Structure 1
Amino acid sequence: MSNLKSIRLGLKMSQKQLAEAIGQTPSSVGHYESGRRSPDIGTCHSIISAFNRLGQKVTFEEIFPQPANAKSSTRSLARSGSKGV
């Protein structure tokens, strides 16, 4: 789950304001926040840039943390020497 909503609310931004800042629709922002959809990498960079311009210095990992199960999968692949086909 992303931290998108909590960061946006911390900046006292509406979904509409964020959507305008990143060139998306408010419903897209709502989908990203709820987890129904995932933004593409370009949109992720736009979100980060918008927050940074507004004074909230964030990284990709702070907004979109890696899920706990993905972390353990990555670690187990690294330990086993597998390339994770």
Structure 2
Amino acid sequence: MNRISEIRRAAGISQLALVDQLRWSQGRLSNYEAGRRVPGLAECRAIVRGLNELGACCTLDDVFPPEPAQIPAAA
């Protein structure tokens, strides 16, 4: 799960502005936002950097929250 769209919208950043900043296609960002594709670490960092350059104030963990720790089943 990611919060790309949520953070982008809260900062008043259009999807088009972010894809222009990243120099990506709109489809690529749309797929990441919708969870149809999972970005790699380099892409995650680029998205956070792009959001911050456009006025959002966020970290990698804000945009891509860590998964809750898996609790092992009792033996």
TM-score by length of 1: 0.72
- List gaps (5 residues or longer) in structure 1: 77-85
Q: Counterpart of 2:70 in 1: which secondary structure?
A: helix
Higher gyration radius (CA): 1
Number of the residue aligned with 1:48: 48
Q: 1:37 to 1:8 in 2, by over 3 A?
A: same
Percent sequence identity is 28
The alpha carbon displacement at 1:37 in A equals: 0.3
Contact 2:2–2:65 (Cα < 8 Å) also in 1: yes
Corresponding pairs, count:
72
Report the equivalent of 2:21.
21
Greater percentage in helix: 1
In structure 2, the residue matched to 1:32 is 32
Give RMSD over aligned pairs. Answer: 1.6
5+ residue gaps, structure 2: none
The residue type paired with residue 61 of structure 2 is E
| In the alignment, structure 1 residue 9 sits paired with structure 2 residue 4 | no
Higher RCO (Cα < 8 Å, 6 or more apart): 2
